[in-house]
Amino acid sequence: MRAGDGMIKKRSGEVIVTNEKQNVLLKKLYGTAGGRAVLKVLTAPCISFIAGAFMDSRLSKPLIPRFIRSSGIDTSEYIMRDFRSYNEFFTREIKPEKRPVDGVPSHLISPCDSKLTAYKITSRSVFRIKDSWYSVADLLGGNDFLARRYEGGVCMIFRLEVDDYHRYCYIDDGYKTSNTYIRGVLHTVNPIALERYNIYKRNSREYTILHTNHFGDVVQAEVGAMMVGRICNHHGEHSFERGEEKGMFEFGGSTVVLLFEKDRILIDRDIAMNSNEGIETVVKYGERIGTMRK
């Protein structure tokens, strides 16, 4: 089983398959000459801008009920109201009691609802996502000096699908620097796309350094996806608290990446084992996923 084939595990160990119809479509887009020609159009920034404008408008409101039905979203978990547009619904807030934040200071929490894999950063500053290798410096827009600080550390990749909760939080108390935005070509972050494109080098992304109280200096990067032109971070330089909302993604599936320095964290055993087998683990906003290394 491979995460790239849509195989993921819950923390209970149950294996599930998600988005089979989407996977078939993506294989056609990325696996054929005609599909790749269509992608050249779909991934253009102007197309993403037009799609975003439509999703912000009242014209997109009729899409909401259909999306709820097709995705099987449990609306009882969310603060529901009369949404004016699809994007308002897409960035809906969850009821706080549905995502309790683990408050133990030494526990590392997930910043979001997602499918998680974790990788060791090698001495050459590259990490492997499915069958492709990615340089940390590439992710950081060529910042080799910063990338070298994370040699021997851990890269955690949180992949959000369209039916996930699309807000994300800070993983600890601390303070952050300003955000660095890197413009890119927007491609889907679905693992199938990794077979042909180096997704995390091509996509628009934004990163910052989190100076945390318990996990050292952590790089958090948000990566945009196809039809996602806006990564909405709330703060520039800012003092933050564990579980405080950091930002949100607008329409589409997206990704959060965390980089940890060497000997800072211990990943929970089930997540580490799944990652070694190429299987993603379902995690929730505020849930424990590891601990501080003592």
Active site positions, annotated: 113, 254
Angle (CA) 259 262 263, round 5°: 120
Among candidate residues 275, 228, 247, the one with its CA nearest the CA of residue 8: 275
Tokens for 197, please give them: 């494109």
CB 186 within 8 A of CB 45: yes
* Locus of tokens 């564990």: 242
* Locus of tokens 């997602």: 114
